[in-house]
Amino acid sequence: MASITRRMAVALLGGGLVAAGSAAAQDMKSVKIGYAISKTGPNAGGANVTQIPNYQLWVKEVNDKGGLMLSSLKRRVPIEIVEYDDRSNSEEAVRAFERLVTQDKVDLLFPPWGTGLNLAVGPVFNKYGYPQLAFTAVTDRAPDLGKRWPNSFWLLGTSAQYVDALVGLLTKMRADGKINDKIAMVSIADGFGIDLSKAAREGFTKAGFKLAYDKSYPIGTQDMSPLIGEAARSGADSFVAFSYPPDTIALTDQAKIASFAPKVMFLGVGVGFPLYPGRFGANTEGIMSLGGWSRDNKATAEYREKHKAMHKRDPDYWGSQVGYSSLQMLEQAIERVGKIDRPAIIKELQTGTFDTVLGKIKLRDNMLQEGYWLIGQWQDGFYTGVAPARPGAAPVIVPKPAWK
């Protein structure tokens, strides 16, 4: 019995090898793109809003055209997707990406969701020379990483960039006599909250602001009333929270319940999620956060409509448009190179100029330099970009209107 099993196994294995060999010899039937992303676990909420819908939308659009135009083959080649769940676990993500490269032999990779996982899989992308267009990672190490791993691109910038923009806005408001010099800040005790609050603490202090309240809270905190209560008692005109989506909603809810309406209300991830205006309606007016959207950009408006048609909901107003642009960049880079030549594609991404929904994009030091918003504010039901100062930037509404 054992010998038969073994013989069968050998036969199967041999057959498999032959099949694989002949497939490789055949002409390219598809461009295989692989990714592992958090479909389950704590990251799933973000991955499902900002990232996965973009992958699905872009792949569908390209395949509707017949695929990627590879001039070396003189025809379009459709995209085939290999997808894994990293279960929000960095070891799992590293294993999955290794597998995608070595077992599934994918031609290209899409990045995972979030700062932590993008940093974790960076070495794998680098080892095998795959371009990594990270668009849901914010890290102050982005400039160094771009140098150390030239194949990696950090499109959402550094925490210092966001903090500088916020400090700039607040400093101007203070100079205009609209807010006092006290700030109440809370942050989640996790990568994003720790990084941003650290940068903000330095930035605020340097600009002469006093942190009247400055605390972090653990993931999964289900009651925000002590935090809101203390922030309200601190006498600060500005409330800044580096929070994750469930806390962002809980903080807004609790501030409303406690009638705590600071003149400046800046909250973290989730303010730009479609869920947020759905939940708070007109009460979003004046609330600020990361990212932003251009009122007058027809391309992003079209993108939003396409996103809505496919997924029945709006994109996220921070990372989504950057993510979709990164996929457009990848598409154009591949088609300019004309074949799946990864070093050439990376080179093109580093040096080329691309037509995206955000406008013309040219990267410098593997990072986006302009064309996107750092700070946005809900104004009249639209999440408008307010900083940095560039064409289309709306003036900030301050003070935030009272809760309705």
Partner 1 sequence: MLTDALIAGLTLGGMYALLAMGLTLQYGVARIMNLSYGELLVSGAFAAHWLFTVAGIAPLAALLLVVPAAFALSWLIYRVLLTPLVRRAPNREALEVDTILATFGLLFVVQGVLLVMFGGAYYSYSFFAVPVHLPGATVAANRLLALGFAVVVGALLYLGLTRTRLGTAIRAVAVDPVAAQLVAIDVRVAAAFAFALGGGLVACGGVLVSMFLTFNANLGVVFTMKALIVVIMGGVGNLLGALIAGLILGLTETFVATWIDPGLTLAATYAIFLVTLLVRPQGLFGIGRR
H or E element at residue 383: strand 382-387
Of 3 and 259, the one with the shorter C-beta distance to partner 1 is 259
Residue found under tokens 């990251």: 43
Tell me if 280 contacts partner 1 by CB under 8 A.
Answer: yes
Give, in order, the Cα–Cα distances in Å from 239 to each of 72, 287, 376: 56, 10, 15
SS3 call for 133 = strand
Tell me if 271 contacts partner 1 by CB under 8 A.
Answer: no
Site residue total, partner 1 (CB under 8 A): 42
Tell me if 393 contacts partner 1 by CB under 8 A.
Answer: no
Task: Pick out residues in 207-226 that bind partner 1 (CB under 8 A).
Answer: 215-218, 220-223, 225-226
Task: Compute φ and ψ for 365, nearest 5 degrees.
Answer: 55, 40
> For partner 1, which residue of 67, 253, 342, 393 counts as binding (CB under 8 A)?
253
The span of 100-108, 117-125, 234-242, 245-253 binding partner 1 (CB under 8 A) equals 245-253
Task: Pick out residues in 41-60 that bind partner 1 (CB under 8 A).
Answer: 41-42, 44-45, 47-49
Distance CA 232, CA 238 (A): 10
Tell me if 229 contacts partner 1 by CB under 8 A.
Answer: yes
Tell me if 114 contacts partner 1 by CB under 8 A.
Answer: no
Spell out the residues 6+ positions from residue 271 whose beta carbon is closer than 8 angstroms to its own: 248, 284, 287, 288, 289, 290, 317, 376, 378, 383
Tell me if 174 contacts partner 1 by CB under 8 A.
Answer: no
Tell me if 254 contacts partner 1 by CB under 8 A.
Answer: yes
Q: How far is the CB of 5 from partner 1 (least distance, A)?
A: 28
Q: How far is the CB of 43 from partner 1 (least distance, A)?
A: 9
Q: How far is the CB of 36 from partner 1 (least distance, A)?
A: 14
Of 258 and 367, the one with the shorter C-beta distance to partner 1 is 258
SS3 call for 53 = helix
> For partner 1, which residue of 189, 282, 310, 402 counts as binding (CB under 8 A)?
189
Q: What is the DSSP string of 33-50?
A: EEEEE-SSSTTHHHIIII
> For partner 1, which residue of 112, 131, 245, 291 counts as binding (CB under 8 A)?
245
Tell me if 396 contacts partner 1 by CB under 8 A.
Answer: no
> For partner 1, which residue of 9, 13, 20, 257 counts as binding (CB under 8 A)?
257
Closest to 270 (Cα-Cα) out of 310, 317, 226: 317
Report CA 109 to chain centroid distance, whole Å.
Answer: 16
Tell me if 75 contacts partner 1 by CB under 8 A.
Answer: no
Q: How far is the CB of 235 from partner 1 (least distance, A)?
A: 14
Q: How far is the CB of 219 from partner 1 (least distance, A)?
A: 9
> For partner 1, which residue of 177, 259, 298, 395 counts as binding (CB under 8 A)?
259
Closest to 198 (Cα-Cα) out of 118, 219, 237, 190: 190
Q: Is the peptide bond before 277 cis (omega within 30 degrees of 0)?
A: no
Report yes or no: 375 and 162 within 8 Å, Cβ to Cβ: yes
Tell me if 39 contacts partner 1 by CB under 8 A.
Answer: yes
Strand partners, 80: 32
Q: How far is the CB of 376 from partner 1 (least distance, A)?
A: 19
Report CA 178 to chain centroid distance, whole Å.
Answer: 32
Q: Are strands 210-217 and 182-188 parallel, antiparallel or unpaired?
A: parallel
Distance CA 229, CA 11 (A): 70
Residue found under tokens 């498999």: 16
Tell me if 319 contacts partner 1 by CB under 8 A.
Answer: no
Give, in order, the Cα–Cα distances in Å from 331 to each of 146, 234, 325, 336: 21, 51, 10, 9
The span of 20-28, 34-42, 136-144, 197-205 binding partner 1 (CB under 8 A) equals 34-42
Distance CA 333, CA 271 (A): 32
Closest to 247 (Cα-Cα) out of 182, 190, 323: 190
Of 151 and 289, the one with the shorter C-beta distance to partner 1 is 289
Task: Pick out residues in 281-300 that bind partner 1 (CB under 8 A).
Answer: none
Of 14 and 381, the one with the shorter C-beta distance to partner 1 is 381
Contact residues toward partner 1 (CB under 8 A) are: 38-42, 44-45, 47-49, 88, 186, 189, 215-218, 220-223, 225-227, 229-230, 233, 245-246, 249-250, 253-254, 256-259, 270, 273, 275, 279-280
